[in-house]
Amino acid sequence: MALESIINPAKAAQHPSRMLFIGFLYASIALFLSTWIFRSHASLIMVFLTVIASIPFMYKTLKMEEKLDIKLKKESKILKEHARVIKALLYLFGGYVLAFSLWFIVLPSGMVQSLFSAQLDTISAINNQISGNVVNSGSILLQIFFNNFKVMLFCLFFSFFYGAGAIFILTWNASVIGAAIGSFVKEKLAALALSAGSANIFHYFQFLSLGLARYAIHGIPEIAAYFVAGLAGGIISVAMVNRDLDSPKFHIILKDALELVLIAILILVVAAFMEVYLTPVFF
DSSP string for the chain: -TTTTS--HHHHHHSTTHHHHHHHHHHHHHHHHHHHH-GGGHHHHHHHHHHHHHHHHHHHHHHHHHHHHHH---GGGHHHHHHHHHHHHHHHHHHHHHHHHHHHHHS-HHHHHHHTHHHHHHHHHHHHHHHT----HHHHHHHHHHHHHHHHHHHHHHHHHHSSTHHHHHHHHHHHHHHHHHHHHHHHHHHHHHHHS---HHHHHHHHHHHHHHHHHHHHHHHHHHHHHHHHHHHHHHHHHHS-TT-HHHHHHHHHHHHHHHHHHHHHHHHHHIIIIIHHHH-
Q: What is the pLDDT of residue 246?
A: 67
Q: Taking the CA of residue 125 as centre, how many other CA atoms within 13 Å lie in the half-sphere pointing to its CB?
A: 7
Q: What is the pLDDT of residue 129?
A: 64
Q: What is the pLDDT of residue 40?
A: 84
Q: What is the pLDDT of residue 2?
A: 62
Weakly modelled stretches of the chain, pLDDT under 50: 134
Q: What is the pLDDT of residue 126?
A: 74
Q: What is the pLDDT of residue 249?
A: 72
